[in-house]
Amino acid sequence: MTKILGIETSCDDTGVAIYDSQKGIIADLLASQITTHEKYGGIVPELASRDHLKKILPLIQALLQTAQLEPSDLSAIAYTKGPGLIGALLVGAAVGRSLAYAWQIPAIGVHHLEGHLLVPMLESPAPTYPFVALLVSGGHTLLAFVQKFGQYQLLGESVDDAAGEAFDKTARLLGLPYPGGPAIAKLAESADPMAVQKIRLPRPMLDRSGLDFSFSGLKTAVRQCIEQYPDKADPRWKANIAAAFQEAVVETLYEKCRRALVFCGCDTLVVSGGVSANKRLREKLKELGKTSYYPRMAWCMDNGAMIAYAGYLHYLEKQFEPLSIQVQPRWPLLDAAQLNG
């Protein structure tokens, strides 16, 4: 029986989990830093690193206790090697690499996006290869054709802001708290549908062929809309803009997914990353008439489970880290796939 400890520290969540090759995820803990960063309206990288540093060892201890395991029960330690904030990544990599050395087991460096991409595999029913994957997080928006583990073809990606970033920036413009995605989604629920229809926001890149995304123009359009909104006496005016913005993002993602499925001749869509928690997106993607798979809500956002699971797949391929502590703050998914292949 193989047991992999997974560590995720690429951004503002300290996530640890244990994947058991027979039982699946047997323990999963997360320490969120939202209260540290929300007063700044975004993530402060140095504070994120310090917070990871404070929390990570007690969290791993608590994880082993929860799973009722000793370090000697573990087969390997997987940690997020990139992409992400360099200081935050270094905490997870230094702790993961060092513990693996001390416990005399292999260390595995995992690509954060590969973790997001494969975590729906832990659900039941799980998607079967090949599938089209839409990865929509705070740092990335991309479409990939996944033939099998390690074989990823990039179909398109954002040329500027990621979808989650657009949610976060728009939320800031509307005076909503960080992270913006859940705040916008919640506010949008109280919108007036008639008023929302009257708000004209662009559907970026839909007029062009290809599968790339662009969200920075949409953010500018929202800013103008806020400045020029005709009826700020309406208590729902912010909710209306939030709903119109959400609809513009959702429609754009929907159309690109539709095209990607046609392009690949594929019937299976896998959606992951923080924005995949968005209910309106899930509802809209049903209109594709294809089978769509999502991670459970807790695994849409950053978590240790996805790193433990991807780490397990690398473990089977004996893809281990050298003794040095290495991170890659910028790391295209395609490069990682080539390494795997």
Nearest to 214 by CA among 179, 152, 259, 166: 166
Contact window for ligand KG4 (CB under 6 A) among 61-69, 74-82, 222-230, 275-283 = 275-283
State the Cα angle at 301 between 93 and 85, rounded to 5°.
Answer: 35
Residue 333 binds which entry of ligand KG4, Zn ion, none, CB below 5-8 Å type-dependent: none
Q: Does 311 bind ligand KG4 (CB under 6 A)?
A: no
Q: Does 268 bind Zn ion (CB under 5 A)?
A: no
State the Cα angle at 162 between 53 and 17, rounded to 5°.
Answer: 35
Pairwise CA distance, residues 35 & 55, whole Å: 14
- Residue/partner pairs of 18-25 with CB below 8 Å, 24 or more apart: 18/63, 18/67, 18/69, 18/74, 18/308, 19/305, 19/308, 19/309, 19/311, 19/312, 21/312, 24/122, 25/122, 25/305, 25/308, 25/309
Pairwise CA distance, residues 108 & 97, whole Å: 8
The count of other CB atoms within 10 Å of the CB of residue 30 is 18
State the Cα angle at 43 between 41 and 48, rounded to 5°.
Answer: 140
Instruction: Using the minimum distance from each CB to Zn ion, give the nearer residue, 87 or 106.
Output: 87
**Phi, psi (rounded to 5 degrees) for 79:** -140, 155
Q: Does 137 bind Zn ion (CB under 5 A)?
A: yes
Residue 92 binds which entry of Zn ion, ligand KG4, none, CB below 5-8 Å type-dependent: none
List the one residue from 167, 237, 254, 299 that touches ligand KG4 (CB under 6 A). Answer: 167
Q: Does 15 bind ligand KG4 (CB under 6 A)?
A: no
List the one residue from 127, 138, 295, 304 that touches ligand KG4 (CB under 6 A). Answer: 138
Residue 20 binds which entry of ligand KG4, Zn ion, none, CB below 5-8 Å type-dependent: none
Instruction: Using the minimum distance from each CB to Zn ion, give the nearer residue, 137 or 240.
Output: 137
Shortest distance in whole angstroms from residue 206 CB to Zn ion: 25
Q: Does 133 bind ligand KG4 (CB under 6 A)?
A: no
Instruction: Using the minimum distance from each CB to ligand KG4, give the nearer residue, 4 or 275.
Output: 275
Q: Does 212 bind ligand KG4 (CB under 6 A)?
A: no
Pairwise CA distance, residues 19 & 21, whole Å: 6
Shortest distance in whole angstroms from residue 69 CB to ligand KG4: 27
* 91 close to 36: Cβ distance less than 8 angstroms: no
Number of residues in the chain = 341
Instruction: Using the minimum distance from each CB to Zn ion, give the nearer residue, 302 or 321.
Output: 302
List the one residue from 182, 202, 217, 329 that touches ligand KG4 (CB under 6 A). Answer: 182
Residue 26, SS3 per DSSP: strand
List the one residue from 161, 168, 302, 321 that touches Zn ion (CB under 5 A). Answer: 302
Q: Does 275 bind ligand KG4 (CB under 6 A)?
A: yes
Locate 308 and state its tokens. Answer: 């433990």
Q: Does 273 bind ligand KG4 (CB under 6 A)?
A: yes
> H or E stretch including 283?
helix 279-285
List the one residue from 180, 295, 304, 311 that touches ligand KG4 (CB under 6 A). Answer: 180
Q: Binding pattern to ligand KG4, positions 283-302, x when CB under 6 A?
A: ------------------xx
Residue 167 binds which entry of ligand KG4, Zn ion, none, CB below 5-8 Å type-dependent: ligand KG4
Locate 215 and state its tokens. Answer: 């969200």
Q: Does 96 bind ligand KG4 (CB under 6 A)?
A: no
Per-residue b or e along 39-71, where b marks 16 or more CB atoms closer than 10 Å to that residue's CB: eebbbbbebbbbbbbebbeebbeebbeebebee
Contact window for Zn ion (CB under 5 A) among 20-28, 45-53, 220-228, 300-308 = 300-308
Q: Does 14 bind Zn ion (CB under 5 A)?
A: no
Query: Which residues of the chain form contacts with ligand KG4 (CB under 6 A)?
Result: 11, 137-139, 164-165, 167-168, 179-182, 185, 273-275, 277-278, 301-302
